[in-house]
């Protein structure tokens, strides 16, 4: 009797798991737009976790440099196989073989489950990109932006798949940083949202559900180490602040410390690229006195 009960419970558990998986979007093929530092490392992490990846940029030269950077990073990661050099070589070769370059996103997006954009923090550029890809992508393809500051809803509205659009914000350096923000807009379906939470874990990351809020702060002013109120000018995710406690990133643009940023409780600096992106977005995306907006 106990055996039958265990078998029944196992069957019920397997059925529940199968149902849960059926309610998720299976992501195996990933397209990453932009072969820069963030984009190439996102591609690397996806390829290293058994996803096939297409890395897209404007020229073959840029993509060649991206591949070289990925290979160099993989060689560092492969040091964990120090006692087995053959396994290290196999890991590097397998990961690289899973990444294909392309200079034409529209021609390859039809076979993609997930598009991750990691381009310049410019709303018009991103909207034009997503609008074009939306015409060629198949129905189930999910779109995600790695933007650190722009409104996800505004990007989603450039497509006809607002329910399959999220923010998927990685932190630099991507292979090492565990945190990933998964940002849900009011239009994002629960299926899409939960699928990217699952994907983030498959990538070896710690996903945090966010409803990102951004505020304007005058250029040249110093932001507080913690947001005191919506008018304090803090630029970050209120939800992530709650989850991470004092790990709140700030941007400091005082004359003596141009554009530096750091967590309030760790000796770590945001990369220059990230600081400039945040400052650019804060200046371009909002107007003085404007109320904060959410994802």
Question: What kind and span of H or E run contains 46?
Answer: helix 37-48
- CA diameter of the chain: 76
Residue owning tokens 């591949």: 67
Question: What kind and span of H or E run contains 15?
Answer: helix 2-22
Which residue, among 259, 280, 282, 281, has the nearest Cα to 270 in the 3D structure?
Answer: 259
C-alpha neighbours within 13 Å on the C-beta side of residue 157: 10
CA distances from 219 to 12, 129, 280 (A): 58, 28, 9
What are the structure tokens assigned to 255, written together?
């004359």
Q: Read off φ and ψ for residue 156, nearest 5 degrees.
A: -60, -35
Provide the angle, in degrees to the nearest 10, between the axes of the packed helices 37-48 and 85-97: 110
Residue count (the chain): 295
Looking at residue 234, its pLDDT comes to 34
- Out of 3.40.50.720, 3.40.50.2300, 3.30.1360.120, 3.30.420.40, which CATH number does the structure's domain 25-210 have? 3.40.50.720
pLDDT (tens place) for every residue of the chain, 295 residues total: 444 444 434 444 434 434 445 567 899 999 999 999 999 999 999 999 999 999 999 999 999 999 999 999 999 888 877 678 888 899 999 999 999 999 999 999 999 999 999 999 899 999 999 999 999 999 999 999 999 878 899 999 999 999 999 999 999 899 999 989 999 999 999 999 999 999 999 999 999 887 654 433 334 444 433 333 332 233 333 333 333 333 333 333 322 333 333 333 233 344 455 555 555 554 444 434 333 334 5
Peptide linkage before 11 cis (omega within 30 of 0): no
Edge-first strand order for the sheet with 99-102 is 99-102, 52-56, 29-33, 114-117, 142-145, 165-170, 179-183, 206-210
Rounded Cα gap, residues 103 and 97, in angstroms:
18
3 state DSSP class of 214 = strand
pTM above 0.95, yes or no: no
Domains in the chain: boundaries: 25-210, 212-295
């Amino acid at each position: 009797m106990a055996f039958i009960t265990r078998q029944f419970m196992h069957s019920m558990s397997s059925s529940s798991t199968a149902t849960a998986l059926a309610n998720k979007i299976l992501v195996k093929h990933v397209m990453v737009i932009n072969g820069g530092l963030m984009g190439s490392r996102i591609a690397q992490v996806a390829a290293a976790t058994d996803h096939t990846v297409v890395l897209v940029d404007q020229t073959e030269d840029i993509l060649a440099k991206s591949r070289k950077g990925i290979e160099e990073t993989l060689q560092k990661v492969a040091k964990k196989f120090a006692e087995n050099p053959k396994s290290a070589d196999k890991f590097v070769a397998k990961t690289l073989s899973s990444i294909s370059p392309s200079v034409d996103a529209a021609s390859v997006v039809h076979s993609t489950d997930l598009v991750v954009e990691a381009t310049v923090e410019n709303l018009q550029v991103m909207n034009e990109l997503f609008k074009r890809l939306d015409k060629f992508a198949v129905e189930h393809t999910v779109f995600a932006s790695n933007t650190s500051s722009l409104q996800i809803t505004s990007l989603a509205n450039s497509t006809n798949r607002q329910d399959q659009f999220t923010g998927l914000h990685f932190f630099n350096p991507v292979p090492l940083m565990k945190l990933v923000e998964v940002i849900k807009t009011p239009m994002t379906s629960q299926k899409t949202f939960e699928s990217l939470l699952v994907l983030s874990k498959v990538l070896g990351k710690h996903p945090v559900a966010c409803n990102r809020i951004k505020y304007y702060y005058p250029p040249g002013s110093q932001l507080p180490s913690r947001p005191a109120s919506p008018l304090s000018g803090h630029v970050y995710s209120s939800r992530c602040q709650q989850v991470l406690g004092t790990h709140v990133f700030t941007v400091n643009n005082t004359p003596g410390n141009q554009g530096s940023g750091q967590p309030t409780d760790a000796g770590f600096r945001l990369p220059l690229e990230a600081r400039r992106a945040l400052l650019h977005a804060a200046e371009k995306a909002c107007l003085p006195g404007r109320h904060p907006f959410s994802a």
